[in-house]
Structures are given as C-alpha cells and as structure tokens.
C-alpha cells in the first residue's frame, strides 16, 4: 500500500500530464502553400498539433520553428521563429500570414483562394452525400434482415402447424 501511495505521489509531482497546442495557420488570401523548411505540407488554412510539456506550461510559452507560406503569385512570408504565448492565448490559436501588398499578382492569389474554397465545399458536399447513402444502405440492410427474420419465423410457424 505504501508503494502505491509513493508511486502516485511521484506521478503527481513529475507532471506526467502533457497538453497539446493546436495552431491553425491561415493566410490572407487563403490557399497559400505552407512549408516547414523546404517541405510543403498543406494549403492554408490548416491545423497542426504541438506537444506542450509541464515545463512549457510553467514558462507560459512555447518556442517553435516558424513555417513559411507561398502564394501562387510567388509572394512569400516566413515566420523564422515563433514564441507562442499559451498563458495569454490558450492552447488553441490561429496564426494568419498577411500577403505582402508590394508583390504583384494579388488577383491571381484571390482566384486560387476562391477555387480552393469551391473544391473544399464540393468535397464536403460529396462526403455528406456519401454519408447519407451509407445510412440509407444500412437502413435497407436492417429492413431486409428484419424481413428475413420475420419470414423465417413465419416458416417455422407454418411447419409447426403442419406437423400437428
């Protein structure tokens, strides 16, 4: 019993409970390619999870290597490093990259943003249609199963009546 109490006390003091910081990276206009180093990850907006240790929680902030974004026009913004204030802004945050106005091609970037939004909406609608179809299929399967059970019960009743 003493060992169990000691083990629980060590766990409580060690701060084994970790947290997760969720940062959604957005851009204005949306649809910029987000990079971490040289690797492209997604098109904005997109969300990443970062582990937050007990020490980070005590410090109240988390230091991250910042991503960069690049729009179709070639406009680029880079956050070399980020100090994320988790005490002030919590564990769910949004970071928005503003497209530099001095770079030509904003209209092209806005058109790409609109096209990506149309594609996302179309994908969402397809997902909803597919989900509704799956529900209909399951309901039909359930009705068919019930009809088969009912027919089997009816057959059993008829056989019992005939055997009398």
Coil vs helix vs strand at 21:
strand
Q: Could you tell me the residue ranges of all domains in the chain?
A: 2-103
CATH of segment(s) 2-103 = 2.60.40
The segments of the chain whose pLDDT lies below 70 read 1-17
- pLDDT at site 67: 93
Q: From the centroid of its chain, how far is CA 54? A: 24
Whole-model pTM: value is 0.66
Provide the pLDDT for residue 156: 84
Q: Which residues contact 20 (CB under 8 A, 6 or more apart)?
A: 49, 50, 51, 52, 91
* Per-residue pLDDT at 6: 42
What distance, in Å, lies between the first and last C-alpha atoms of the chain? Answer: 69
């Amino acid at each position: 019993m003493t060992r169990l109490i000691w083990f629980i006390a060590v766990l409580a003091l060690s701060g084994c409970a970790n947290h997760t910081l969720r940062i959604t990276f957005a851009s204005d206009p949306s649809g910029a390619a987000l990079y971490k180093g040289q690797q492209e990850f997604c098109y904005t907006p997109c969300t990443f999870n970062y582990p937050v240790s007990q020490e980070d929680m005590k410090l109240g902030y988390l230091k991250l290597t910042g991503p960069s974004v690049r729009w179709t026009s070639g406009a680029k913004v880079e956050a070399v490093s980020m100090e994320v204030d988790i005490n002030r802004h919590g564990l769910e945050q949004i970071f928005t990259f503003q497209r530099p106005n001095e770079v030509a091609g904003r209209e092209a970037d806005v058109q790409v943003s609109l096209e990506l939004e149309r594609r996302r909406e179309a994908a969402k609608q397809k997902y909803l249609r597919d989900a509704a179809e799956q529900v209909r299929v399951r309901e039909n399967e359930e009705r068919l199963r019930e009809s088969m059970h009912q027919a089997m019960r009816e057959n059993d009743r008829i056989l019992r009546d005939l055997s009398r």
